[in-house]
C-alpha cells in the first residue's frame, strides 16, 4: 500500500508502449481511467483495486489481447446506467484472461449474454456490490474453470441457472442479497469442490435440495432470509465438513431436526431462527463440540433443554427464545464458562432461576415471558421465589384475579402518580431542568447511493410502511451489514421538511433504551435532481404495537397475540421513555403523537418510542408554552383536549394505555 493520489495521466498509453504490469492498487487515485490505456497492448496485469476511480471502463479494453488479470474492484466506477457494462463484450478477445474483478463499484445495467464468451481460462469472476439488474445469463455455465463466482449484493432477478452446476471447479459461489427467485437448483450437488455457498437474502422458494449433501467440502452454507419450505434434509444437516457456519434462518422450514445434526462436530455457528421447526431439540446436538453460537429462536421446539448441551464447553451465545420449551432451567448452564449471552425468553420454563455462572450477570441473560420462573434478583424482572412459594390463608386468588390486581397496580397507580406530578410541576413557574445527558452531537451523514443499495433501490419488497410524511424501508448497510430502517420523507407533503428537522433535533441529543435510536441521516438529491431527506434508524424486527393490537386478518401468517405480561411490560417501557423525555433532559420534549403505531418492538419485545416528527420542545416559560400550544398537532384520539398544558400530556399516555389494556 502506498499513498499515491491524483489522476492517472491521460497520455499514459503513448508514453509507456511496452508496459506489461500496471499495478496501482490500494491508493487514492481518482478521476477516469485514461482511454489511452487500451494502447498498451503488451499489458498482462492491470490492478487498481481500492482507489476512487470514476467514470466507465473503456469499451475497447478488449484490445489488450494478452491480458491475464484485470482488477478494478472497490472504486467508484459506473453511473448505474446500462452503458456501464459496455466493455464486457470486447473482453472476449482476451483469450488468456484469468481474473476479472469489478466488485464494489456503481456499475449498472444487465449482464450481457456475451459473458458466456469470456475466456475459458477465467478462474476468478467477482461483480458483487454493484447495481446490476436483470437475470444471470445461462451461458455463465460455459466458464468451466471458475473457482470463484461472486455476484452478491446487486439487484439481480429471475431464477438461478441450473447450468451453474457445470462449474465443477467452483470453490466459492456467492449469490446473496439479490432478488433471485425460483428454487435452488439440484445441480448444485455437482459442485463437489465447493467450500462456501451463500444464496441468502433472496426470494428463493421450494425445498433445500438433498443433493447439497454431495458437497462434502463445504465449510460454510448460508440459505437464510428466503422463502424455503419443507424439512431440512438429513444429508445437508449432517455434512460433517461444515465448520464455519450453517445458516437457514428466516425461512419457513418445518418438521423436526434430524439426529444427523450431531455430525456437525466442527461447526462453530448454527443459525436456524425464525422458522417453523418443531419437536424436541435433538440430544445429538451436544455432539457439536466446536459450537460457539447457537441461534434457534422463533420456532416451535418443545420439551426440555437437553442435558447433552452441557458438552458444548466452547459455547458463547445461545438463543432459544420464542419457542415452547418447558421444564426447569438446567444447572449445567451455570458451568459453561465461555457463555456470555443467553436468551431463553418467551418459553414455558418453570422454577427458580439458577444463581451462579452467567446468571450472576442479569444483562447477559434474557428470561422475559416465562411466567412460571422466579428469582430474587430484581434485575431479572421476575417474580420473587418466596412470594411464589409462600402459603396463603383462606381462599387463594384465581389467575384472573391476580392479573386484574396486577393490571390495576402496575398501570393505573403509575398513571395517577404521573398526572399528579405533572400538575405539581405546572404550578412551579421557576422550576429548574436537569442537565442533558450528553453534549450535542452531530449526526453522521450517509450518502443517497448507500441508501439506494441498502434498500435494493427502494424496492416495494423493502417497503415496511407509509406514514404521514413519508415511507419506511428495511435496508442492509453495505459497510457493516447491519439491518436498519430507512425513513424517507415525502417532501411534497406540507410540513415534511419541518418534520425532518424536528426529528433530527429531537433525537440527536437523547439516549434511552426505550427510544428508537437514530443511526444516521441523509440530506441530498436523487438522480432526478429532487431534494432527498431520510433518517436511518434502528430496525425493530417485531414491528409496531399497532400491528400486534390490530393484526391484519388478511395476512397469511398466524395472528400474533400479546399476553398480559407483555402488555404490562410494553406499557412500562413507554412510561420510562416519556418520563425521560419530560424530566431528564435539559429541554423537555413532548412527543405529541404517542400512539401504538409509533411504539416499535425489538426482537426481545422491548418497546421503543419513535416518530418524533410532531415533537415539541418545552422551554420553561409560560409564554413559550402557550405560544407552542396553539400549533400543536397529533392523531385524532391521542391529541389531548388541553393541548400543550403539562397536565394534559397525561392524555397521550392514558389513551395509549387504554388501547394496550382493552384491545
Let me know: does 571 contact 514? Beta carbons within 8 Å: no
Q: What is the DSSP string of 10-74?
A: TTHHHH-TT--EEE--SSEEEEEPPGGGGG-TT--EEE--SSEEES---TTGGG-TT--EEE--S
Residue for grid cell 421538511: 497
Q: What is the DSSP string of 57-113?
A: --TTGGG-TT--EEE--SS----SSGGGGTTTGGGGG-TT--EEE--SS---SBPPG
Q: Which residues contact 660 (CB under 8 A, 6 or more apart)?
A: 545, 549, 567, 570, 571, 596
Gyration radius of the chain over CA positions: 29
**Residue 603: half-sphere exposure toward Cβ, Cα within 13 Å:** 14
| Helices vs strands, H then E, count in the chain | 11, 36
Residue for grid cell 442479497: 177
Consecutive H or E run containing 573: helix 564-583
Q: How far, in Å, CA of 513 to CA of 607, rounded?
A: 9
Q: How far, in Å, CA of 554 to CA of 146, rounded?
A: 47
Q: How far, in Å, CA of 341 to CA of 313, rounded?
A: 14
Beta strands in 379-513 (DSSP E): 463-466, 470-476, 483-489
Q: How far, in Å, CA of 378 to CA of 367, rounded?
A: 12
Q: How far is CA 272 from CA 147, 403, 625, in A?
A: 28, 35, 53
Q: Which of 339, 237, 235, 239 is nearest to 294 (CA)?
A: 339
Q: Answer positive or negative: Cα dihedral of 410, 412, 418, 420.
A: negative
Residue for grid cell 447450468: 163
Backbone angles phi, psi at 509, to 5 degrees: -115, 10
Q: How far, in Å, CA of 521 to CA of 535, rounded?
A: 4
Tell me how long the chain is: 663
Backbone angles phi, psi at 150, to 5 degrees: -125, 110
**Residue 544: half-sphere exposure toward Cβ, Cα within 13 Å:** 20
Q: How far, in Å, CA of 207 to CA of 247, rounded?
A: 15
Q: Is 376 a residue of the active site?
A: no
Which cell is 106 given?
456503481
Q: How far is CA 588 from CA 122, 179, 484, 584, in A?
A: 63, 45, 27, 7
Catalytic residue chosen out of the listed positions 84, 456, 593, 611: 593
Q: How far, in Å, CA of 503 to CA of 589, rounded?
A: 11
Q: Which of 512, 449, 513 is nearest to 486 (CA)?
A: 449
Residues recognised as catalytic: 593
Amino acid at each position: 500500500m502506498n499513498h499515491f493520489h491524483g489522476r492517472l495521466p491521460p497520455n499514459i498509453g503513448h508514453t509507456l508502449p511496452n508496459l506489461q504490469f500496471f499495478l496501482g492498487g490500494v491508493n487514492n487515485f481518482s478521476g477516469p481511467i485514461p482511454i489511452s490505456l487500451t494502447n498498451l497492448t503488451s499489458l498482462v496485469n492491470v490492478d487498481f483495486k481500492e482507489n476512487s476511480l470514476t467514470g466507465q471502463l473503456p469499451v475497447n479494453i478488449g484490445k489488450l489481447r494478452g491480458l491475464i488479470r484485470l482488477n478494478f474492484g472497490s472504486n467508484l466506477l459506473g453511473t448505474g446506467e446500462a452503458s456501464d457494462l459496455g466493455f464486457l463484450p470486447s473482453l472476449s478477445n482476451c483469450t488468456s484472461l484469468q481474473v476479472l474483478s469489478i466488485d464494489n463499484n456503481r456499475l449498472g445495467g444487465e449482464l450481457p449474454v456475451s459473458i458466456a464468451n469470456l475466456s475459458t481460462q477465467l478462474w476468478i469472476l467477482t461483480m458483487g456490490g454493484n447495481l446490476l439488474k436483470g437475470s444471470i445469463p445461462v451461458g455463465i455455465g460455459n466458464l468451466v474453470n471458475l473457482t470463484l463466482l461472486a455476484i452478491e449484493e446487486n439487484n439481480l432477478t429471475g431464477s438461478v441457472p441450473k447450468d451453474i452446476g457445470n462449474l465443477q471447479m467452483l470453490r466459492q459461489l456467492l449469490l446473496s442479497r439479490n432478488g433471485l427467485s425460483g428454487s435452488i437448483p439440484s445441480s448444485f450437488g455437482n459442485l463437489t469442490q465447493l467450500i462456501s455457498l451463500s444464496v441468502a437474502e433472496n426470494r428463493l422458494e421450494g425445498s433445500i435440495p438433498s443433493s447439497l449433501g454431495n458437497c462434502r467440502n463445504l465449510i460454510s452454507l448460508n440459505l437464510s432470509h428466503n422463502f424455503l419450505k419443507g424439512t431440512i434434509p438429513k444429508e445437508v444437516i449432517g455434512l460433517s465438513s461444515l465448520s464455519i457456519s450453517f445458516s437457514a434462518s428466516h425461512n419457513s422450514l418445518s418438521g423436526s431436526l434430524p439426529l444427523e445434526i450431531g455430525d456437525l462436530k466442527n461447526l462453530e455457528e448454527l443459525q436456524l431462527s425464525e422458522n417453523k421447526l418443531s419437536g424436541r431439540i435433538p440430544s445429538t446436538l451436544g455432539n457439536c463440540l466446536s459450537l460457539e453460537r447457537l441461534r434457534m429462536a422463533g420456532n416451535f421446539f418443545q420439551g426440555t433443554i437437553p442435558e447433552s448441551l452441557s458438552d458444548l464447553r466452547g459455547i458463547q451465545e445461545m438463543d432459544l427464545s420464542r419457542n415452547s420449551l418447558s421444564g426447569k432451567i438446567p444447572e449445567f448452564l451455570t458451568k459453561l464458562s465461555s457463555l456470555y449471552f443467553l436468551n431463553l425468553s418467551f418459553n414455558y420454563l418453570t422454577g427458580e432461576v439458577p444463581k451462579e455462572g452467567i446468571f450472576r450477570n442479569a444483562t447477559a441473560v434474557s428470561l422475559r415471558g416465562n411466567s412460571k420462573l422466579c428469582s430474587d434478583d430484581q434485575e431479572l424482572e421476575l417474580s420473587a421465589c418466596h412470594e411464589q412459594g409462600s402459603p396463603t390463608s383462606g381462599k387463594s386468588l384465581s389467575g384472573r384475579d391476580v392479573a386484574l390486581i396486577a393490571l390495576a397496580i402496575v398501570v393505573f397507580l403509575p398513571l395517577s402518580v404521573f398526572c399528579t406530578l405533572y400538575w405539581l410541576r405546572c404550578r412551579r413557574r421557576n422550576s429548574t431542568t436537569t442537565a442533558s445527558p450528553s453534549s450535542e452531537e452531530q449526526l453522521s451523514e450517509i450518502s443517497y447511493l448507500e441508501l439506494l443499495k441498502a434498500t435494493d433501490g427502494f424496492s416495494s419488497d423493502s417497503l415496511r410502511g407509509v406514514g404521514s410524511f413519508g415511507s419506511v424501508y428495511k435496508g442492509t448497510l453495505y459497510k457493516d451489514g447491519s439491518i436498519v430502517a430507512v425513513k424517507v420523507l415525502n417532501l411534497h407533503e406540507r410540513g415534511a421538511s419541518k418534520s425532518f428537522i424536528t426529528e433530527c433535533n429531537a433525537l440527536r441529543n437523547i439516549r434511552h433504551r426505550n427510544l428508537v435510536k437514530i443511526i444516521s441521516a441523509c440530506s441530498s438529491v436523487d438522480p432526478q435532481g429532487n431534494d432527498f431527506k431520510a433518517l436511518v434508524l434502528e430496525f425493530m424486527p417485531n414491528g409496531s404495537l399497532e400491528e400486534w393490537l390490530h393484526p391484519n386478518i388478511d395476512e397469511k401468517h398466524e395472528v400474533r397475540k400479546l399476553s398480559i405480561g407483555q402488555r404490562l411490560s410494553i406499557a412500562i417501557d413507554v412510561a420510562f421513555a416519556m418520563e425521560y423525555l419530560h424530566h431528564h433532559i435539559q429541554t423537555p420534549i413532548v412527543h405529541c403523537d404517542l400512539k401504538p403505531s409509533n411504539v416499535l418492538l425489538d426482537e426481545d419485545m422491548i418497546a421503543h418510542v419513535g416518530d418524533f416528527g410532531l415533537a415539541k420542545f418545552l422551554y420553561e416559560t409560560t409564554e413559550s408554552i402557550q405560544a407552542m400550544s396553539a400549533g400543536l398537532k397529533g392523531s385524532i384520539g391521542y391529541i389531548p383536549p388541553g393541548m400543550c398544558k403539562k397536565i394534559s400530556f397525561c392524555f397521550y399516555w392514558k389513551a395509549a394505555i387504554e388501547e394496550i389494556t382493552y384491545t
